[in-house]
A and B are shown apart, each in its own frame.
Chain A
């Protein structure tokens, strides 16, 4: 059984949702407290949504200094699958594990609403079970979700096929409609939308399963 760790920072709030989504797909999932400085025995790590350390200063700016982040950097470097959702994405960019940054939404308000995503690349651990150009209905829930990066980084993203998901209709002013990116290797992925909130038609959409099942499938081992 695939073993998934869900990191909890003080102020995280989507940790139960991520855990529930993973266990509903058959994973063996548990929580990792942010002050832990080693992570062993995991096939994949999820940084969930929320407001780590209150998002004080800037979303993710304090969380990057939590001891668990050095361990995650090593895990990622060894090829381990790492997924940052919403605040987790912000943390990964602040920690330098993903390129670019997330700034305040274009309209300067929090946005909680359904969005349609288009799969831009299938070479990441998150999108490998989807097909290119596939449309997925997955909600967003953020204040600082507008993806931005400098031109040189943007060219690298395109060249290396690192843009994994785009919005069909850009809700927040993200550069090039970007909703999610990966690192060059494709084993570290971050996205602002919440796939764990789209696991059941009872709640509006089950399209998140396509992404999270892909994340669980044949994990890249970090050993």
Chain B
């Protein structure tokens, strides 16, 4: 069918009504360059136009929060004069198309967000979601993404200390690659991405600008994969929108920027990420309430013949924008030359103008030479902050009641418990062995455990005995059944992980991976998630200090399960000894700490568990969220472990929270960690082996009487589960396995799955 050519604004991802909004702002028709600037800045990825009205409902404040959502990274005061910056982002669509570069540039981008705040990046974590491994494309994606993270992260010199690895068919055509970065800085060095001081200079640092990543935010990140066969059919068309990373450039850029900040040579600094130069210049100008003139001819280019819209919207990696005073330019140029980092004056901070109503408006002007023709002139804030906000229609999925009623808790045949247990075990070591997890000599607990635990130390930081713990968590199985309670339980699980290494949770960042927001069911999931997150954060006393929303995760019209990922940051007051970890000792007593049964319709629900999913059952109901009980348990366990970390005498010899795969899996993982078995009492039912709900810990103690007394004083339940020792793991009459077999199955599961492909 032939039709008239698509109007330019639609080709740029803008709707007809958005074009009208632009006309209202400008009081005239935009020219094509101006349309291109709005196209990227008003994209879903940059403007959060579908999610922002919901995100406002999240609690974001606490006494220790120095910077909340909206900046490049959230920042908390961790004590001892040290602030910790943390941020999480998605790089889903680029990774679906070009897994190595997609994942690599995801790492590069998140590092820039963190050192933009003046913090040295000290840790990266990567929650990854793929389809099932019986498909050759998934193997290609897994290997590409992992080697991209490894190749970029190791080389750039930031340790990757953990993450998550989830396989589910809903990600087969749309894998999720999220990346979290935490960094630390002396509290007094905190800087923000603000342009101020008329006459100051905007200096572009780092790589030259090429045609890579043009329109990445609008073409790639803000639309789904429409093809019937998912991502594959659009690979070729969209690959030019994927950026290419250079970790060596990034490493020099990090060192140069941190030295610029150390020496007080910059007024403000901002990374160039999605939407490139137009985003960095309009955001810094908007925050500073000033105007900015940008000379496109001053931008060093990688290719000849680039058009102004390409220069302004290119997503070429490894670039930063520094705002400096003119007097400091010689010192900035010299410092950058030492690090072999290119520095070019591309902009001037200028006076805001007065609009027709007498209001002061900072204009972003794109010019052909600083004194040359004005190619585009728009209010900076209209690009950065004034995209239209949408309250898109929401609807609870009509099929949900039937899904909830299809509950495996009541009718799924039990099967052989030992076989079921073995099928649930998988050590992700194949992934994390490829990551440098130890750089900076801080890693006390590395990848593959409940949470990562780092000494709070690094180049340029004041001395401190403190530690920080980070955990990333998600549970799309729960969230698909009940997004509101599912995310609340996920946050509880994450706080539990921190407690296992002795940390008290201090802040939450989130990465909300959802399907197409134009589907009312997806908007309902998102809205419910925000409410559930709010409830859990209020109940557990946690502020949300940053986030990212990734929408349009769909292919062929089918949305992914709602996949909100949280990153939790915790602090350990004194870290002089490692936490007990999983490895228990012969003769110790195994105890279950916390509630034994779930609150809700069933004491041991199997809806949304890995056990049920392995059997093809995705329906059912999940446990309820019980804030006060969870909080008491978490405080008790964190306190017990923190005492060990502080070097105090303790009878606690091992700790692990009950997470994915349930109680039996937690016990088996502990046994496998050092080859020592255990004899566990008969449990209530088969469902108790595999039911998943947070708030339970398996711990080992060499003085059960004293331990039980302390727990009772804290109002926390303890059940003696058995005695540790021997080479067999027995759980009542249901499970009897040699520990050797558990350990070998667990360590080989992932590599076997990757190798068994045709």
Q: Which of B155, B439, B444, B578 is close to A55, meaning CB atoms less than 8 Å apart?
A: B155
Chain B residues contacting A118 (CB-CB under 8 Å) are: none
Cβ contact within 8 Å between A197 and B438 = yes
Q: Which of B251, B435, B575 is close to A110, meaning CB atoms less than 8 Å apart?
A: B435
Cβ contact within 8 Å between B441 and A53 = no
Residue A63 is within 8 A (CB to CB) of chain B in the complex: no
Within 8 A of A (CB), among B578-616: 578
Within 8 A of B (CB), among A31-80: 33, 50-51, 53-56
Tell me the smallest distance from the CB of B144 to a CB of chain A, in Å.
Answer: 13
Chain A residues contacting B156 (CB-CB under 8 Å) are: 13
Alpha-carbon distance between A54 and B444 when the two chains are bound, in angstroms = 28
Cβ contact within 8 Å between A17 and B441 = yes
Chain B residues contacting A112 (CB-CB under 8 Å) are: 154, 432-438
Cβ contact within 8 Å between A50 and B436 = no
Alpha-carbon distance between A111 and B435 when the two chains are bound, in angstroms = 7
Write the chain A residue with the least CB distance to B160.
A112
Q: How many A residues have CB within 8 A of the partner chain?
A: 31
Alpha-carbon distance between A203 and B575 when the two chains are bound, in angstroms = 11
Residue B157 is within 8 A (CB to CB) of chain A in the complex: yes
Write the chain A residue with the least CB distance to B430.
A109
Within 8 A of A (CB), among B224-273: 246-248, 251-252
Chain B residues contacting A33 (CB-CB under 8 Å) are: 338
Cβ contact within 8 Å between B441 and A54 = no
Q: Could you list 23 examples of A-B contacts with CB < 8 Å? A: A10-B248, A10-B251, A13-B157, A13-B251, A14-B157, A17-B441, A50-B157, A51-B155, A51-B251, A54-B251, A55-B248, A110-B147, A110-B151, A110-B435, A110-B436, A112-B154, A112-B434, A112-B436, A112-B437, A141-B436, A143-B154, A202-B577, A203-B438
Alpha-carbon distance between A51 and B153 when the two chains are bound, in angstroms = 11
Residue B651 is within 8 A (CB to CB) of chain A in the complex: no
Residue A131 is within 8 A (CB to CB) of chain B in the complex: no
Write the chain B residue with the least CB distance to A21.
B441
Write the chain A residue with the least CB distance to B442.
A203
Alpha-carbon distance between A33 and B458 when the two chains are bound, in angstroms = 20
Alpha-carbon distance between A13 and B438 when the two chains are bound, in angstroms = 12
Alpha-carbon distance between A33 and B255 when the two chains are bound, in angstroms = 13
Within 8 A of B (CB), among A189-208: 194, 196-197, 199-203
Alpha-carbon distance between A197 and B433 when the two chains are bound, in angstroms = 16
Alpha-carbon distance between A54 and B578 when the two chains are bound, in angstroms = 34
Cβ contact within 8 Å between B435 and A10 = no
Q: Which of B246, B247, B459 is close to A16, meaning CB atoms less than 8 Å apart?
A: B459
Tell me the smallest distance from the CB of A67 to a CB of chain B, in Å.
Answer: 14
Chain B residues contacting A203 (CB-CB under 8 Å) are: 438, 441-444
Residue A139 is within 8 A (CB to CB) of chain B in the complex: yes
Chain A residues contacting B155 (CB-CB under 8 Å) are: 11, 13, 51, 54-55
Q: Which of A14, A55, A111, A202 is close to B576, meaning CB atoms less than 8 Å apart?
A: A202
Tell me the smallest distance from the CB of B69 to a CB of chain A, in Å.
Answer: 31
Residue B339 is within 8 A (CB to CB) of chain A in the complex: yes
Chain A residues contacting B340 (CB-CB under 8 Å) are: 10
Chain B residues contacting A10 (CB-CB under 8 Å) are: 248, 251-252, 339-340
Cβ contact within 8 Å between A110 and B339 = no
Chain B residues contacting A200 (CB-CB under 8 Å) are: 441
Cβ contact within 8 Å between B441 and A199 = yes
Alpha-carbon distance between A55 and B438 when the two chains are bound, in angstroms = 20
Cβ contact within 8 Å between B438 and A11 = no
A111-B434, A196-B441 known; 4 new pairs, CB 8 Å cut-off, are: A51-B155, A51-B157, A54-B248, A110-B434
Task: Mark each residue of chain A from 10 to 26: 1 if its CB lies under 8 Å from any CB of chain B, else 0.
Answer: 11011011001100000
Residue B440 is within 8 A (CB to CB) of chain A in the complex: yes
Residue B101 is within 8 A (CB to CB) of chain A in the complex: no
Alpha-carbon distance between A201 and B455 when the two chains are bound, in angstroms = 13
Q: Which of B433, B440, B578 is close to A202, meaning CB atoms less than 8 Å apart?
A: B578
Within 8 A of A (CB), among B465-503: none
Cβ contact within 8 Å between A53 and B248 = yes
Chain B residues contacting A196 (CB-CB under 8 Å) are: 441
Cβ contact within 8 Å between B436 and A11 = no
Q: Which 10 A-B pairs have the closest CB atoms?
A: A13-B157, A54-B248, A110-B434, A51-B155, A16-B459, A110-B150, A112-B436, A17-B441, A197-B438, A141-B436
Q: Which of A11, A109, A139 has the most CB of B within 10 A?
A: A11
Alpha-carbon distance between A113 and B246 when the two chains are bound, in angstroms = 25
Chain A residues contacting B246 (CB-CB under 8 Å) are: 54
Chain B residues contacting A20 (CB-CB under 8 Å) are: 441
Cβ contact within 8 Å between B433 and A111 = yes
Chain A residues contacting B432 (CB-CB under 8 Å) are: 112
Within 8 A of A (CB), among B327-353: 338-340
Alpha-carbon distance between A20 and B455 when the two chains are bound, in angstroms = 14
Alpha-carbon distance between A202 and B432 when the two chains are bound, in angstroms = 20
Given A51-B155, A113-B433; A13-B439 close (CB under 8 Å)? yes
Alpha-carbon distance between A51 and B439 when the two chains are bound, in angstroms = 13
Tell me the smallest distance from the CB of A29 to a CB of chain B, in Å.
Answer: 13
Write the chain A residue with the least CB distance to B159.
A112
Write the chain A residue with the least CB distance to B143.
A109
Alpha-carbon distance between A139 and B435 when the two chains are bound, in angstroms = 13
Cβ contact within 8 Å between B248 and A11 = yes
Alpha-carbon distance between A142 and B618 when the two chains are bound, in angstroms = 41
Tell me the smallest distance from the CB of A211 to a CB of chain B, in Å.
Answer: 15
Tell me the smallest distance from the CB of B578 to a CB of chain A, in Å.
Answer: 6
Chain A residues contacting B577 (CB-CB under 8 Å) are: 202
Write the chain A residue with the least CB distance to B432.
A112
Cβ contact within 8 Å between A11 and B437 = no
Chain A residues contacting B575 (CB-CB under 8 Å) are: 202
Alpha-carbon distance between A199 and B458 when the two chains are bound, in angstroms = 16
Chain A residues contacting B434 (CB-CB under 8 Å) are: 109-112
Write the chain A residue with the least CB distance to B153.
A110
Chain A residues contacting B147 (CB-CB under 8 Å) are: 109-110
Given A16-B459, A199-B441, A203-B444; A56-B248 close (CB under 8 Å)? yes
Alpha-carbon distance between A53 and B154 when the two chains are bound, in angstroms = 14
Write the chain A residue with the least CB distance to B441.
A17
Alpha-carbon distance between A175 and B703 when the two chains are bound, in angstroms = 50
Alpha-carbon distance between A141 and B147 when the two chains are bound, in angstroms = 14
Tell me the smallest distance from the CB of A150 to a CB of chain B, in Å.
Answer: 29
Tell me the smallest distance from the CB of A208 to a CB of chain B, in Å.
Answer: 10
